[in-house]
Amino acid sequence: MGHEAALGAYTRFDFTHEGRTFPVYRRGAGPAVVVMHEMPGLHPQVIRFADRVAAAGMTVFCPSLFGKPGKPVDRAYTTATMVGVLCMRREFLVWRGDRSSPVVDWLRALARQAHAECGGRGVGAVGMCFTGGFALAMMTDPSVVAPVLSQPSLPVGRKGSPTIGVSREELSCVKGRLAAEDLSVIGLRFRSDKLVPDARFETYRRELGDRFEAIELDDADAAPAFIPPHSVLTLHLREDGPTKAAEQRVIAFFRERTNA
């Protein structure tokens, strides 16, 4: 089975929408949560987080958008995957911050199907790193009621950029839903993380107001890893302290909002 042995407790299926097809790994019972992996792929620490969401009474849907499902993360694998993803311009807008990436349409469709199959008030969604901002753009679909933005790193290459990777129309829709449906958004990051500039979180605060719950962590809170503090829910998660509290807050948020 190779690296996919790490996903042995999951059921795999291919999901297609408007010509795009990606594999999805599913586990659990109860309302749905879409767990979008970080760079370089659906690695074991992302799977660990998904396992914990499933154990809390929800059905996790883990799409594999790039990388090799189940493969452990290291520096060489991350670098090679990043180079490959930069060429996937049909799916990801790496540099542009004025609208969401095309793959978000596919993710919205996956959320709709997951909600239809699993019920509950709606669907939770968490993006990490490269996919970090996708959960906000997914809120333009009524099925998504609990978006979590963990170290949202797109667009890249703009030092201190305030852009958040959604269009004005998408943002207007999100803000309308937050107010009309009494919803909220969680954002997580390490304060020192250059991939998630201060200005980006200030944009979330300005645009979303008290509907945005920011969880910002210090470097001392991070577990050791081969990269500086970045991956709140995975590589840099400690099993106690502020990062563990952040993980527990996210899982509780999903339970509350989806009616798990």
For 11-15, 86-90, 202-206, 221-225, which range has the lowest pLDDT when averaged over its residues? 86-90
CB contact at 8 A, 123 and 161: no
pTM of structure: 0.95
Name the residue among 97, 98, 181 with its Cα closest to residue 139: 181
d(CA 24, CA 13) in angstroms, rounded, equals 5
- Going 99 to 101 to 106 to 110, the CA torsion angle's sign is negative
Q: What are phi and psi of 241, to 5 degrees?
A: 85, -165
Residue 1 has pLDDT above 50, yes or no: no
Q: What percent of the chain has pLDDT over 90?
A: 82
What are residue 146's DSSP bridge partners? 124
Lowest average pLDDT, out of 81-95, 128-142, 234-248, goes to: 81-95
DSSP symbols for 205-223:
HHHHGGGEEEEEE-GGGSP
What tens digit of pLDDT does each residue of 73-124 get?
999 998 888 887 776 667 766 556 566 788 999 999 999 999 999 999 999 9
Closest residue by Cα to residue 211 from 180, 190, 232: 180
What's at 179, amino acid-wise?
A
Average pLDDT, the chain: 93
C-alpha span between 15 and 19 (Å, rounded): 10
Q: Is the CB of residue 95 less than 8 Å from the CB of residue 156?
A: yes
Q: Residue 237 has which token pair?
A: 């998660």
Convert the pLDDT of each residue in 150-206 to its tens digit. Answer: 999 987 766 667 888 888 999 999 999 999 999 999 999 999 999 999 999 999 999
Question: How does 152-185 read in b/e, with b if 16+ C-beta sit within 10 Å?
Answer: bbbbeeeeebebbbbeeebbebbeebbeeeebbb
Neighbours of 44 (CB within 10 A): 15
The Cβ of residue 21 has, within 10 Å, a number of other Cβ atoms equal to: 10
The pLDDT of residue 158 is: 63
User: Which pLDDT score is estimated for 102?
Assistant: 86
